[in-house]
Amino acid sequence: MMTIPKKLLLSPLFQQGGYTLLRNWLPPDFVAALVAEAREQKALARSVNISKSDSELVRGGSPARKFLNAPGGEVQRSLYENRTAMQAIASLTQLPIAPTGSGGTFSYYCRPGDYLTIHRDIVACDVAVITCLEEEGIASSGGKLCVYPTRVRESLPQVRRNPTQGAVPLRLAPGETVVLFGGLVPHCTLPVTVGQNRVVSLLCYRAIVE
Protein backbone atom coordinates (compact mmCIF):
# COMPACT_ATOMS: atom_id res chain seq x y z
CA MET A 1 0.00 0.00 0.00
CA MET A 2 1.45 3.35 -1.04
CA THR A 3 1.51 6.32 1.28
CA ILE A 4 0.38 9.60 -0.27
CA PRO A 5 1.40 12.92 1.33
CA LYS A 6 -1.56 14.74 2.91
CA LYS A 7 -1.09 17.86 0.79
CA LEU A 8 -1.41 15.73 -2.31
CA LEU A 9 -4.57 14.10 -0.99
CA LEU A 10 -6.06 17.59 -0.63
CA SER A 11 -5.06 18.72 -4.10
CA PRO A 12 -8.06 19.32 -6.38
CA LEU A 13 -6.14 17.66 -9.21
CA PHE A 14 -5.64 14.53 -7.11
CA GLN A 15 -9.28 14.51 -6.09
CA GLN A 16 -10.39 14.49 -9.72
CA GLY A 17 -8.19 11.51 -10.56
CA GLY A 18 -4.73 13.03 -10.68
CA TYR A 19 -4.94 14.28 -14.25
CA THR A 20 -6.73 16.78 -16.43
CA LEU A 21 -6.91 17.41 -20.14
CA LEU A 22 -6.42 21.02 -21.31
CA ARG A 23 -7.74 21.62 -24.81
CA ASN A 24 -6.91 25.26 -25.52
CA TRP A 25 -4.15 25.97 -23.05
CA LEU A 26 -1.45 26.85 -25.57
CA PRO A 27 -2.01 29.35 -28.38
CA PRO A 28 -1.95 27.74 -31.88
CA ASP A 29 1.07 29.77 -32.99
CA PHE A 30 3.05 28.57 -29.97
CA VAL A 31 2.05 24.98 -30.65
CA ALA A 32 3.21 25.41 -34.26
CA ALA A 33 6.60 26.67 -33.04
CA LEU A 34 6.87 23.73 -30.65
CA VAL A 35 6.00 21.29 -33.44
CA ALA A 36 8.71 22.85 -35.63
CA GLU A 37 11.23 22.59 -32.80
CA ALA A 38 10.36 18.95 -32.16
CA ARG A 39 10.96 18.21 -35.85
CA GLU A 40 14.36 19.94 -35.72
CA GLN A 41 15.38 18.24 -32.48
CA LYS A 42 14.55 14.82 -33.92
CA ALA A 43 17.97 14.97 -35.59
CA LEU A 44 19.42 14.68 -32.07
CA ALA A 45 17.07 11.92 -30.94
CA ARG A 46 18.34 8.75 -29.34
CA SER A 47 16.60 5.43 -29.49
CA VAL A 48 15.58 4.02 -26.12
CA ASN A 49 14.91 0.30 -26.19
CA ILE A 50 14.43 -1.57 -22.92
CA SER A 51 12.61 -4.84 -23.39
CA LYS A 52 12.04 -5.71 -19.72
CA SER A 53 11.13 -3.52 -16.78
CA ASP A 54 13.36 -3.60 -13.72
CA SER A 55 12.05 -4.55 -10.27
CA GLU A 56 11.11 -1.01 -9.15
CA LEU A 57 7.91 -1.10 -7.11
CA VAL A 58 6.88 2.54 -6.81
CA ARG A 59 8.26 5.16 -9.19
CA GLY A 60 11.15 5.78 -11.53
CA GLY A 61 13.34 2.78 -12.18
CA SER A 62 13.56 1.52 -15.73
CA PRO A 63 10.21 0.60 -17.25
CA ALA A 64 10.14 -1.36 -20.50
CA ARG A 65 9.97 1.08 -23.39
CA LYS A 66 10.87 1.76 -26.99
CA PHE A 67 10.76 5.20 -28.57
CA LEU A 68 13.00 8.04 -29.68
CA ASN A 69 13.90 10.74 -27.20
CA ALA A 70 15.41 14.19 -27.83
CA PRO A 71 16.23 17.18 -25.64
CA GLY A 72 13.99 20.23 -25.92
CA GLY A 73 15.12 23.54 -27.38
CA GLU A 74 14.52 27.21 -26.69
CA VAL A 75 10.82 27.17 -27.58
CA GLN A 76 10.09 24.37 -25.15
CA ARG A 77 12.26 25.99 -22.50
CA SER A 78 10.29 29.24 -22.85
CA LEU A 79 7.18 27.30 -21.85
CA TYR A 80 8.93 25.30 -19.15
CA GLU A 81 10.13 28.43 -17.38
CA ASN A 82 7.10 30.63 -18.10
CA ARG A 83 5.69 32.02 -14.86
CA THR A 84 2.13 32.31 -16.15
CA ALA A 85 2.19 28.69 -17.31
CA MET A 86 3.59 27.55 -13.96
CA GLN A 87 0.93 29.54 -12.12
CA ALA A 88 -1.75 27.89 -14.25
CA ILE A 89 -0.40 24.44 -13.39
CA ALA A 90 -0.07 25.35 -9.71
CA SER A 91 -3.67 26.56 -9.69
CA LEU A 92 -4.74 23.11 -10.89
CA THR A 93 -2.65 21.28 -8.32
CA GLN A 94 -3.05 23.86 -5.55
CA LEU A 95 0.57 23.10 -4.72
CA PRO A 96 3.67 25.18 -5.39
CA ILE A 97 5.65 23.70 -8.26
CA ALA A 98 9.18 24.22 -9.52
CA PRO A 99 11.04 23.12 -12.64
CA THR A 100 13.23 20.12 -11.96
CA GLY A 101 16.01 22.03 -13.65
CA SER A 102 16.79 19.39 -16.22
CA GLY A 103 14.65 20.90 -18.98
CA GLY A 104 12.06 19.18 -21.10
CA THR A 105 12.23 16.52 -23.76
CA PHE A 106 10.44 15.40 -26.89
CA SER A 107 9.33 11.78 -27.30
CA TYR A 108 8.71 10.27 -30.73
CA TYR A 109 6.58 7.16 -30.99
CA CYS A 110 7.20 6.83 -34.69
CA ARG A 111 8.15 3.19 -35.36
CA PRO A 112 5.75 0.26 -35.21
CA GLY A 113 5.46 -0.96 -31.63
CA ASP A 114 7.00 2.10 -29.96
CA TYR A 115 5.53 2.28 -26.44
CA LEU A 116 6.18 3.00 -22.79
CA THR A 117 4.91 0.49 -20.28
CA ILE A 118 3.07 1.23 -17.03
CA HIS A 119 5.23 3.33 -14.73
CA ARG A 120 5.34 6.31 -12.42
CA ASP A 121 7.71 9.16 -13.17
CA ILE A 122 11.04 9.61 -11.38
CA VAL A 123 11.20 11.23 -7.96
CA ALA A 124 11.95 14.73 -9.28
CA CYS A 125 8.97 14.60 -11.62
CA ASP A 126 5.79 14.93 -9.56
CA VAL A 127 3.77 16.83 -12.14
CA ALA A 128 4.11 15.94 -15.82
CA VAL A 129 2.89 18.33 -18.50
CA ILE A 130 2.45 16.34 -21.69
CA THR A 131 1.54 18.19 -24.88
CA CYS A 132 0.70 16.29 -28.03
CA LEU A 133 2.46 17.77 -31.05
CA GLU A 134 1.80 15.21 -33.77
CA GLU A 135 -0.71 12.38 -33.91
CA GLU A 136 -1.01 10.80 -37.32
CA GLY A 137 -2.10 7.46 -38.73
CA ILE A 138 -4.26 6.55 -35.74
CA ALA A 139 -5.47 2.95 -35.61
CA SER A 140 -7.47 1.46 -32.72
CA SER A 141 -5.96 2.38 -29.35
CA GLY A 142 -2.34 2.64 -30.57
CA GLY A 143 -0.44 5.52 -29.00
CA LYS A 144 -3.04 6.38 -26.42
CA LEU A 145 -1.89 7.71 -23.06
CA CYS A 146 -3.41 5.38 -20.53
CA VAL A 147 -3.82 6.51 -16.91
CA TYR A 148 -4.89 4.52 -13.85
CA PRO A 149 -6.47 7.02 -11.46
CA THR A 150 -8.07 4.36 -9.26
CA ARG A 151 -4.84 2.42 -8.75
CA VAL A 152 -2.61 5.06 -7.17
CA ARG A 153 -2.01 2.94 -4.09
CA GLU A 154 -0.87 -0.20 -5.91
CA SER A 155 2.69 -1.20 -6.70
CA LEU A 156 3.85 -1.14 -10.31
CA PRO A 157 3.99 -4.97 -10.57
CA GLN A 158 0.38 -5.13 -9.32
CA VAL A 159 -0.84 -2.66 -11.92
CA ARG A 160 1.16 -4.34 -14.68
CA ARG A 161 -0.26 -7.75 -13.80
CA ASN A 162 -3.76 -6.56 -14.62
CA PRO A 163 -3.35 -3.69 -17.08
CA THR A 164 -6.96 -3.38 -18.19
CA GLN A 165 -8.42 -2.82 -14.70
CA GLY A 166 -9.15 0.86 -14.15
CA ALA A 167 -7.41 1.92 -17.35
CA VAL A 168 -8.50 5.29 -18.73
CA PRO A 169 -7.19 5.65 -22.30
CA LEU A 170 -6.76 9.23 -23.51
CA ARG A 171 -6.31 10.30 -27.10
CA LEU A 172 -4.68 13.69 -27.22
CA ALA A 173 -5.09 15.77 -30.37
CA PRO A 174 -2.19 17.97 -31.49
CA GLY A 175 -2.06 21.04 -29.26
CA GLU A 176 -3.80 19.36 -26.33
CA THR A 177 -2.06 19.01 -22.99
CA VAL A 178 -2.45 16.63 -20.09
CA VAL A 179 -1.35 17.72 -16.63
CA LEU A 180 -0.73 14.59 -14.61
CA PHE A 181 0.52 13.67 -11.17
CA GLY A 182 2.90 11.36 -13.00
CA GLY A 183 4.80 10.40 -9.87
CA LEU A 184 1.59 9.16 -8.30
CA VAL A 185 -0.81 7.95 -10.99
CA PRO A 186 0.46 4.91 -12.92
CA HIS A 187 0.42 5.57 -16.68
CA CYS A 188 1.71 4.26 -19.98
CA THR A 189 1.72 4.88 -23.72
CA LEU A 190 0.13 2.04 -25.67
CA PRO A 191 2.14 0.65 -28.62
CA VAL A 192 1.75 2.61 -31.83
CA THR A 193 0.76 0.77 -34.96
CA VAL A 194 2.33 0.67 -38.45
CA GLY A 195 2.25 4.11 -40.01
CA GLN A 196 1.46 5.90 -36.78
CA ASN A 197 3.46 8.90 -35.64
CA ARG A 198 2.95 10.37 -32.18
CA VAL A 199 5.20 13.16 -30.91
CA VAL A 200 4.85 14.73 -27.48
CA SER A 201 6.52 17.47 -25.46
CA LEU A 202 7.21 16.41 -21.89
CA LEU A 203 7.86 18.82 -19.03
CA CYS A 204 8.45 17.75 -15.44
CA TYR A 205 7.90 19.78 -12.29
CA ARG A 206 8.52 19.09 -8.65
CA ALA A 207 5.51 19.62 -6.40
CA ILE A 208 6.41 21.07 -3.01
CA VAL A 209 4.40 19.08 -0.49
CA GLU A 210 6.35 19.67 2.72
Site residues for Fe ion per CB under 5 A: 121, 182
Helices (H), the chain: 6-9, 12-15, 28-41, 74-80, 83-93, 156-161
- The bridge status of strand 115-119 relative to strand 168-170 is unpaired
Instruction: Pinpoint the alpha helices (H) of 68-175.
Output: 74-80, 83-93, 156-161
Task: Kindly list the distances between the CA atom of residue 73 and the CA atoms of 29, 129, 203, in Å, as whole numbers in the listed order.
Answer: 16, 16, 12
Q: Which is nearer to Fe ion, 26 or 184 (CB)?
A: 184
Considering the complex, state which of residue 33 and residue 142 has its C-beta at the smaller distance from Fe ion. Answer: 142
Q: Name which of 33 and 66 has its Cβ closer to Fe ion.
A: 66
Q: How far is the CB of 29 from Fe ion (least distance, A)?
A: 28
DSSP 143: T
> How far is 175 from 173, CA to CA, in rounded Å?
6
Q: How far is the CB of 154 from Fe ion (least distance, A)?
A: 16
Minimum distance, C-beta of residue 28 to Fe ion, in the bound complex (Å): 26
Name the residue nearer to Fe ion (CB basis): 75 or 185.
185
Shortest spacing between CB 128 and Fe ion, in angstroms: 6
